Amino acid sequence: MQKRKLGISGLEVSAIGLGCMGMSFGYGPPKDKQGMIALIRAAVERGVTFFDTAEVYGPYSNEELVGEALAPFRGQVVIATKFGFQLHSDGKPGWVGLNSRPEHIKKAAEGSLKRLRVEAIDLYYQHRVDPEVPIEDVAGAVKDLIHQGKVRHFGLSEAGVQTIRRAHAVLPVTALQSEYSLWWRRPEQEVIPALEELGVGFVPFSPLGKGFLTGKIDENTQFDSTDFRNIVPRFTPEARKANQALVDLLKRVAEKKKATPAQIALAWILAQKPWMVPIPGTTKLARLEENLGAAAIELTPEELREIDSAASKIEVQGARYPEELEKMTGR
């Protein structure tokens, strides 16, 4: 597995990471814990050194899973987690609201350190920008944690350009994590040019369009009642039918390259910039191996032009989030 550096920070990780959220949260019931520990360790054996979790996934259970799975590999892997939600006091899923007050960040970090079984969090993201707390105060709190040796790198998630600049002025931002894929390209307008200018790495989540770009989902697919795609406008049966055109494009390129649609979708991201590291999630070993195979696929400039040209003629249907979740992004 090739390595990549997240911007100018010097933080080196595998070219493809592993998003662990779906093992515990978001995409149906939590999966078998021992099975997921085995999957995470299989990823390490195959060269993955970058693992993504968050306090809110579960809540807490995903960090505990990742901490247990990666305990034998301390110092060999990079674990990213996130703060910024006010969680329910009874531990039920979801959140009450946002909370990035400095004292809350420091308390959240202590909990994450315990669950992850680490002395320092490698990459600590603000999960969503809190409009009630100046980003300078957030960066200052993380800076304190870095000085205390409890955090190594600072990140933001789904932040807007002005917030990224203001945070970066207080404490260098190592990486921005935001949704980015062939079916969500808005970051190209302002965010990616700003990251390049500032030397900030980019970690695209949902690089396979929440599973849609794999070609395994169509208008007739039924999701579990607890799967959050049930409330995503882009996943209504009508939208899925319309958006099939994008999957068909990936399939055409994949056939030529003797690859799968998922591998082409990931290879396309890897070809955009050398400081982009996608973090596809999965709960299946075969899918993990398929995703990691994308790192070996090189798309030529001509193939990239062909994909861009064909994709530009396809209008993706449906919003990527329900309105109340979309409002929390791009601030």
Per-residue pLDDT of 154-196, as tens digits, reads 999 999 999 999 999 999 999 999 999 999 999 999 999 999 9
pLDDT of residue 309: 97
3-class secondary-structure state, position 121: strand
Dist. CA 97–CA 226, nearest whole Å: 20
Dist. CA 94–CA 91, nearest whole Å: 9
Catalytic residues: 57
pLDDT of residue 33: 97
pLDDT of residue 72: 98
What are the pLDDT digits (tens) for 105-118?
999 999 999 999 99
Dist. CA 127–CA 136, nearest whole Å: 15
pLDDT of residue 265: 98
What are the pLDDT digits (tens) for 234-291?
999 999 999 999 999 999 999 999 999 999 999 999 999 999 999 999 999 999 999 9
pLDDT of residue 288: 98
For the chain, what is the mean pLDDT? 97
Dist. CA 128–CA 126, nearest whole Å: 6
Nearest to 83 by CA among 101, 63, 108: 108
pLDDT of residue 133: 98
The one-letter code for the residue type at 59 is: P
Residue 70's pLDDT band (boundaries 50, 70, 90)?
very high
pLDDT of residue 278: 99
Question: Is the CB of residue 251 less than 8 Å from the CB of residue 215?
Answer: yes
pLDDT of residue 131: 98
pLDDT of residue 21: 98
Q: Where are the alpha helices (DSSP H) in the chain?
A: 33-45, 61-70, 102-116, 135-147, 161-170, 191-198, 237-257, 261-272, 285-292, 301-312, 323-326
What are the pLDDT digits (tens) for 5-37?
999 999 999 999 999 999 999 999 999 999 999
Domain 3-326, classified CATH 3.40.190.290, yes or no:
no
pLDDT of residue 121: 98
What is the CA angle 128-26-45, rounded to 5?
Answer: 95
